[in-house]
Amino acid sequence: MSLLDLIRQRKSVRDFRDQPVEREKIMACLEAARLAPSACNSQPWKFIVVDDPELKNKLSQVAFNGIYAINTFCKKAPVIVVVISEKGKFIAQIGGMFRGTRYYLIDIGIAIEHFILQAEELGLGTCWIGWFNERAVKQVLNIPQYKKIDILIALGYYDKAKIGPDHGREPMEKIAAFNTYQTRKPGHKDRD
């Protein structure tokens, strides 16, 4: 399968099977993330894989309750990966300050994309989770309060037949242009 076909196939999964994920497959996903590029090779991430069923259930109960209940589907995922932001190299931090860009977030995004594409290739489904009780996750996993958890990843097997075929993405002409910024569609007149 080509990379583009794999990208087209991958969708966010919110309905996981009750089937454990093999450690070898998790390690392959982590290896893909580890190899991701980052600003000044900072590698500003740590991953905590929660695959022990009892701990994962405890984590899910506190992470996805109350105002975070929209993500209760994660309770069915056999694995939750906690992505902790670490400080990037000093030069990347300085460059980011001058540019007004948080490079560590971009770096983490690239690493997670590597992770989820590897998971898809291995027949596993994923969903990025940004809405969760961070304080509770830190307490359950003994993560220092001064650390930042930006993303959780729900990971597990799923039924591909239950996932819809369409990504619902914008058409190419709306999101890309060559050689200049286009604010309108060809033939469309701007209002003054």
pLDDT at 129: 96
Strands (E), 78-192: 79-85, 125-129, 148-156
User: What value does the mean pLDDT of the chain take?
Assistant: 88
Pair 124, 51: CB distance under 8 Å: no
Hey, what CATH class is 9-164 in? alpha beta
**Taking the domains of the chain in order of start, what are their residue ranges?**
9-164
| Separation CA 88–CA 21 (nearest Å) | 31
pLDDT tens, position by position, 2-44: 999 888 889 999 999 999 999 999 999 999 999 999 887 888 9
Percent of all residues in the chain with a pLDDT value above 90, rounded to a whole number: 64
| Residues 35/133/135/152 CA torsion (nearest 10 deg) | -10
pLDDT tens, position by position, 114-145: 999 999 999 999 999 999 999 999 999 999 99
Number of Cβ within 10 Å of residue 107's Cβ equals 24
pTM: 0.86
